[in-house]
Structure 1
Amino acid sequence: MLTTPAVIATDLDFIKDVLIRDFNYFTDRGVPHNEKIDPLTGNLFALDGQKWRTLRTKLSPTFTSGRMKFMFPTVLEVADRFIETLGELLQTQKTLEVKDLLARFTTDVIGTCAFGIQCNSLKDPNAEFRMYGRKQLENPPHGPLVMALMNMFPKISDMLRLTRAHRDVTKFFMDIVRETVDFREKNNIRRNDFMDLLIQLKNHATLEGEDHESVESKIIDKLTLEELAAQAFIFFVGGFETSSSTLTLTLYELSKHQDIQDKCRAEINRVLEKYNGKLSYEAMNEMHYVEQTVLETLRKYPILPVILRQCINDYQVRGTKVVIEKGTPVQIPAYAIHHDPEIYPDPEKFDPDRFLPENVKLRHSVAFLSFGDGPRNCIGLRFGKMQSRIGLIMLLKSYRFHLSSKSPDPLVFSKKSFLLAPVGGMHLDVEKV
């Protein structure tokens, strides 16, 4: 973007205009993509214009609260295996590196929900799904300078057939999707997962609604296999890293603040007692303090620290004579907004009470941007919150976490990733409650 002026948006009213009120001027992210050369870039995060609108309309029904309830048992099953693995590790050690463990947990969750495949990375840290997911996020196919030039000159990048995904990563995910779809269709297999919903869209361009009526897309085009693979891929890559980082950072903060950890555990035990000791979708939704704790982690550590939009037509800023020209990138620094003391007093303090309903009402409606906002917010926010809460509930129900002599202080974040991810391991002392 060195050759293009950009707008840095910090005024909350203006941010609301960009994300919500005048969204039709800022529908695109300006993320380069080319489905022919690099098929996995044809995903909901990167697409723009009518292609994005059509796909968003088709995929939105897959992330309703009803669908989350449908997928809940699948996530819980993986969480049970996660707790089992944790128990086995604690037989020989009391200090655990939880960052990798949590990434393996979320890899298995997303692998199961997005692909319907048992990844087994909890048992095998070098499982293929874990290996390829890690490779794409931690070691992009090109260095930072080449990636920057690809973003600045996308047409030249396409002429040179440079890709944003490793070729072996693309082949792995395309093959997995093709094999999974073929197997399910030949054997008439239905499951409570994202892949089942994508197959419905591939074959019918509609989804069965919660009441088993069909939910029609505005433009009835079936998903191609390549489009299906691209959505499964972005759900996988976007889902496992964001949720595992959120859980890692939540455990870090709870290890520093034992009083907050105790309050979370007390709420978990109180609600579970009401449900005969069993975690259900309804029980999870009654654990309000646990949810506030996850939201406060995302406030302090927004996993996507900068939100991108691109102006698609000349736009006059409301109440001014300033015109943002077509094609201008707009960057919204979520991390800076979340650490503005005028919005969040004492911003470095970890305080879940910031997300009590009465406190949320006192703030501007776009003061919290961890999932973006408006029509182009994170489509998977319900799933991400559900996955993080299930993981946290299952962990705190059985274990207490403390800082260890190896715990990072201060936290250092990766400069390679566009996501906010701590560098190195997260070692914590763990004991049975």
Structure 2
Amino acid sequence: MGFVLDSLILELFLIVVSLIALLYYYLSRNEDYWKSRGVPFIQPTTFFGNLKDVVLMRTSEPEQLGRLYFQLAGHSFGGIFQSVTPVLLLRDPELIKTVLVKDFDHFHDRGIPLNEKRNPLGAHLITLEGSRWKTLRSKLTPAFTSGKLKNMFQFVVECARDMTVHLEEKVPDDGGQLEIKEIFAKYTTNVIGSCGFGLRLNSFEDPHSKFRRMGRQFFEPTYWKFLRRWIVMYVPVVQKLKISAFSHEMTSFFMGIVKEMIGYRESNCVTRSDFLQLLIELKNRGRVDEDLPFSNENVITPDGTVQDTNKRDHGLKLTDSLLTAQCFMFFMAGFETSSTTMSFCVYELAINPQVQDRLLREVDETLLKAKGEPTYQDISTMDYLDSVIKETLRKYPVVHTLMRVCTRPYTLPGTNLRLEAGTKMVVPLFGLHYDPRYHPDPYRFDPERFSGEGSRPVIPAYTYLPFGDGPRNCI
């Protein structure tokens, strides 16, 4: 009996050791990936790659990628590891231009995992790939022209007035303190609700509205939420599991409200100059206003097949689910990014009173000329405001990392490095935007670096990329 028990324990021990050995092999098998290719790289830690401090919440991902950017100083590119995934970090502006623009047909995807059946809200322009992305992009681009945005300006003004009333009521007579990011979050929630969904939310009167709660739920940082998304992104084997990036409540909410709004407008012949109306037009007519001019650009599939997106829609059926995903993208990309940028902007204005005074003078002059009712055109002529926002986005880029994936074998120009299909690349903006070679005194808030006045050097191309660049830039 004792012999059998000892044998069983030994077998269990060997099984456990074997499983640990297999796990270690899987987690460490790529650690020589860049070394074997002669690429300068930063030595990873097993499982964590070069993002250990990020996973342990000691620092943020953009800050860590910025540090890795500077650790590779002297090189045009270098190898890093996001968990077990080898990633090429790009540093040279000319190389960045090559990937984003010149040879875009090799790098047209972002490489973000997508399971449409499990995550229907994820099937939007940010994640779609290949011909499906290109077809949808060409159809949605006319919805974001200056003319279309001008038609929505009245809704933005209405939301701004609500915020003004709220601030007048809440600001204490003695100055006091306000949590400005929360105020801006309510404001952008109102704007997105109005311009995107045709809803009059007024989050200032109802701070616990479903829209506001969904925004908090998606963007509120929690460790387990971050860890789940991080593993899904960077551990390939986990991507095959049925892990949803969105809660069931959030999926049901957006799918339900968009379907309800589309049904109401179509059955009651209601129209409104907002994003949802443009999507309804796209669904029913196949286009928004006039289609884009014929394009010679092709998309190359992973198997090397050339697809011409001008001939057909490549199986892109504009279902209510797909349209809902675009509405969700509008919400996701416009809510947190705008409120965060506004928060950082007023922070910099508070600690740089000379910038605040100059901007205030421009605001007062514009309001005086417009008799207190500035138009879209009036705002577009405010050059110093434009410079202040640009400098805010340089120091605090909300899209902190540009991601691309090589879709077919490619040799980097001027090197012998042959990239395999599926190789991931990143451009860390917290490195590029803080590189003193391109942005002197990078930690100083200096809007005039964008004014082009006097002897100030022109910012080199592809060193300031808050919205990306090339065909896959922010729409």
Shorter-chain TM-score bucket reads 0.7 to 0.9
CA deviations on 1:140-189 (whole Å, 9 max, x unpaired) are 7954443333224556544x421001111010110110111111111111
Task: Provide TM-score, normalisation by structure 2.
Answer: 0.75
Call closer, same or farther: CA 1:145–1:281 in 2, change over 3 Å: closer
Q: Aligned to 2:329, which of 230, 234, 253?
A: 234
Match in the other structure for 1:366: 462
The letter for the 2-side match of 1:147 is: R
Distance 1:259 1:361 in 2: 22
Q: Aligned to 1:150, which of 228, 232, 237?
A: 232
The letter for the 2-side match of 1:97 is: E
Task: Tell me the C-alpha RMSD between the 2 structures.
Answer: 2.0
Match in the other structure for 1:391: none
The correspondence of residues 26-425 of structure 1 with structure 2, limited to 5 A, is: 26-90=107-171, 94=175, 95-139=177-221, 142-153=224-235, 156-158=238-240, 160-209=241-290, 218=310, 219-220=312-313, 223-357=318-452, 362-379=458-475
Structure having greater relative contact order (Cα 8 Å, sep ≥ 6): 1
Distance 1:174 1:331 in 2: 32
Distance 1:169 1:252 in 2: 32
Between structure 1 and structure 2, the one with the greater Rg is 2
Task: Tell whether the 8 Å contact from 1:104 to 1:122 is kept in structure 2 after alignment.
Answer: yes
Instruction: Report the Cα offset of residue 139 of structure 1.
Output: 5.0
Corresponding residue SS for 1:309: strand
CA deviations on 1:237-290 (whole Å, 9 max, x unpaired) are 111100000000000000011111111111112122222221101100111100
The letter for the 2-side match of 1:367 is: T
CA deviations on 1:58-83 (whole Å, 9 max, x unpaired) are 11111111111111111111111111
Call closer, same or farther: CA 1:360–1:307 in 2, change over 3 Å: farther
Call closer, same or farther: CA 1:165–1:21 in 2, change over 3 Å: same
CA deviations on 1:68-106 (whole Å, 9 max, x unpaired) are 111111111111111111111125673211010001100
CA deviations on 1:307-352 (whole Å, 9 max, x unpaired) are 1111111111112222222111101011111111111100011011
For structure 1, which runs of at least 5 residues remain unmatched after alignment? Answer: 380-433
Call closer, same or farther: CA 1:282–1:112 in 2, change over 3 Å: same
Distance 1:120 1:273 in 2: 28
Call closer, same or farther: CA 1:93–1:119 in 2, change over 3 Å: farther
Percent identity over the alignment is 40
Task: Tell whether the 8 Å contact from 1:141 to 1:164 is kept in structure 2 after alignment.
Answer: no
Corresponding residue SS for 1:374: coil
Task: Provide TM-score, normalisation by structure 1.
Answer: 0.82
CA deviations on 1:40-60 (whole Å, 9 max, x unpaired) are 010111111111111111111
The letter for the 2-side match of 1:267 is: E
Task: Tell whether the 8 Å contact from 1:119 to 1:128 is kept in structure 2 after alignment.
Answer: no
Distance 2:226 2:462 in 1: 31
Q: How many residues align?
A: 374
